[in-house]
Amino acid sequence: MEYDEKLALFRQTRLNPFDRGEEEDGPQGGKTPPLHARPELFPGTRTHSSDRTMDLGLAEDHFSRPMGSIVAPDIEQLKMAIEECKKLILELPEHSERQKDTVVKLIHLRLKLQELKDPEEDEPNLRILLEHRFTKEKSKSVKQTCDKCSAIIWGLIQTWYTCTGCYYRCHSKCMNLITKPCVKSKVSHQSAYELSICPEIGLDRQDYRCAECRTPISLRGVPTEARQCDYTGQYYCSTCHWNDIAIVPARVIHNWEFESRKVCRSSMRYLTLMISRPVLKLKEINPLLFNFVEELVEIRKLRQDILLMKPYFITCKEAMEARLLLQLQERQHFVENDDMYSLQDLIDISSGRLSCSLTEIHTTFAKHIKLDCERCQAKGFVCELCKEGDILFPFDSHTSVCYDCSAVFHRDCYYDNSTTCPRCARMTERKQDEEPVVRVA
């Protein structure tokens, strides 16, 4: 059999969902049978399918032609075609090829409808609203969701923006409906956590309305489900609370609990921006935590040693050229104090990551001072009580430091000696010698 004959036979026994059903010239000058004259691939499924072809928009393939070559149908016609397409999908056999083709066509019709509802406009690349700094996105991904209307952002046909401060995402058409200020401004002005565990005030105190958008809510889900945020303790609607989960700082500080809890969208953004900020002073908020968490005691000792090493690096040319202190640039507060922690610090302490990384940095710093650099070695101390042993440094584990003059001694020598510090005694004697003698006439 010739190739053209095989092709003609194939076309007669296959259904093209975009076929117009009109008689067209075949490959050998003959006529291709119309749609209703072709044999059915699925017996018993012809009900109304040929009659609905025009209504579903299947008579014209709006998506295979170049843009602008046809007049786009109006919105009402597309809505009617979508409804008819849904009915046809239910009538066709499940998992059949015709049902799959109809589903694909339904998706195309919905995309076309969305395109007509939101025509592409020349939108500005930067927009500022309620302290949000929105930038126009160019991604065509459909994985994003609008934070205002909770609908999917069709990046292929819709314009959308992202706030560079709090990463708030929304359609261009939803921007004028935004009522929530940028969370980053709150972080800049307040920079403090809610330290009470789920401070609930009750749905009646909220007047049975969402704490953010004031939409009526109830625990029964009528008209909208009330969802509680574990961070603020307040209730929100499903638009403002997406059941996101996050670690709550109050539970970490009081219970050393790192289980993620459900929080609202605004709390989620706030906690994300605050997670690396050192705003937790544990010895004032919960000093007893150090008695039950050994890892905290270890980290505090390492941080205290690093603060004692810092003066060596500031006055050492080689250390400044090697930029040793920049190894802690992600935790800058570690070289400024030893009592402030960020939530990320506590998370890393619980997992053990911080202990490993900080021990490695501590070893590198100590190696530079005690072995690699002669200038730093020259700034060591000799125990003036026993005058024996190696050079001592204030961050050594077996030493003690005088609180008045910062002299370094062996720990055993310092506590066994009942006299005063020799260096403090010399300094006091020197001051007395320098004082002028007042003679009485």
Specify the pTM: 0.64
Neighbours of 62 (CB within 10 A): 16
Amino acid identity of 193? Y
Is the previous residue joined to 394 through a cis bond, with omega within 30 degrees of 0? Answer: no
Give the per-residue pLDDT at 15.
52
Instruction: Please list the pLDDT of the chain residue by residue as tens digits (441 residues).
Output: 566 676 666 666 655 545 544 444 444 444 444 434 444 433 443 444 444 433 444 444 444 433 333 334 577 888 888 898 888 888 888 888 888 888 888 888 887 777 666 555 556 788 888 888 888 887 766 678 888 888 888 877 788 888 888 888 888 888 888 888 888 877 777 778 999 999 998 999 999 999 988 899 998 877 889 999 999 999 999 988 999 999 999 999 999 999 999 999 999 999 999 999 999 999 999 999 999 999 999 999 999 999 999 999 999 999 999 889 999 988 999 999 999 999 999 999 999 999 999 999 999 999 999 999 999 999 888 888 887 778 889 998 888 888 888 888 888 887 777 667 888 888 888 888 777 655 554
User: From CA 411, how far away is CA 396, in angstroms rounded?
Assistant: 10
Give the per-residue pLDDT at 438.
52
Neighbours of 72 (CB within 10 A): 14
34 contacts 11 by C-beta, under 8 angstroms: no
3-state secondary structure the chain: CCHHHHHHHHHHHCCCCCCCCCCCECCCCCECCCHHHCCCCCCCCCCCCCCCCCCCCCCCCCCCCCCCCCCCCCHHHHHHHHHHHHHHHHHCCCCCHHHHHHHHHHHHHHHHHHHHHCCCCCCCCEEEECCEEEEECCCCCCCCECCCCCCECCCCCCCEEEECCCCCEEECCCHHHCCCCCHHHHHHHCCCCCCCCCCCCCCCCCCCECCCCCCECECCCCCCECEECCCCCCEECCCCCCCEEEECHHHHHHHCCCCEEEECHHHHHHHHHHCCCCCEEHHHHCCCHHHHCHHHHHHHHHHHHHHHHHHHHHCCHHHHHHCHHHHHHHHHHHHCCCCEECHHHHHHHHHCHHHHHHHHHHHHHHHHHHHHCHHHHCCCECCCCCCCCCCECCCCCCEEECCCCCCEEEHHHHHHCCCCCHHHHHHHHHHHHHCCCCCCC
User: From CA 32, how far away is CA 329, in angstroms rounded?
Assistant: 75
116 contacts 72 by C-beta, under 8 angstroms: yes
Question: What's the number of CA atoms in the CB half-sphere (13 Å) around residue 380?
Answer: 22
Amino acid identity of 369? I
* In the block, residue with structure tokens 């609370």: 241
- Contacts by 321-329, CB closer than 8 A, 24 or more apart: 322/368, 324/364, 324/365, 324/368, 327/361, 327/364, 328/361
Measured N-to-C along each axis, helices 97-117 and 75-91 cross at an angle, to the nearest 10 degrees, of 160
* In the block, residue with structure tokens 């565990």: 197
Torsion region of 194: left, alpha or beta (phi above 0 gives left; psi -120 to 50 gives alpha): beta
* In the block, residue with structure tokens 């956590």: 193
Measured N-to-C along each axis, helices 343-351 and 294-314 cross at an angle, to the nearest 10 degrees, of 120
**Residue 207 in tokens:** 């007047």
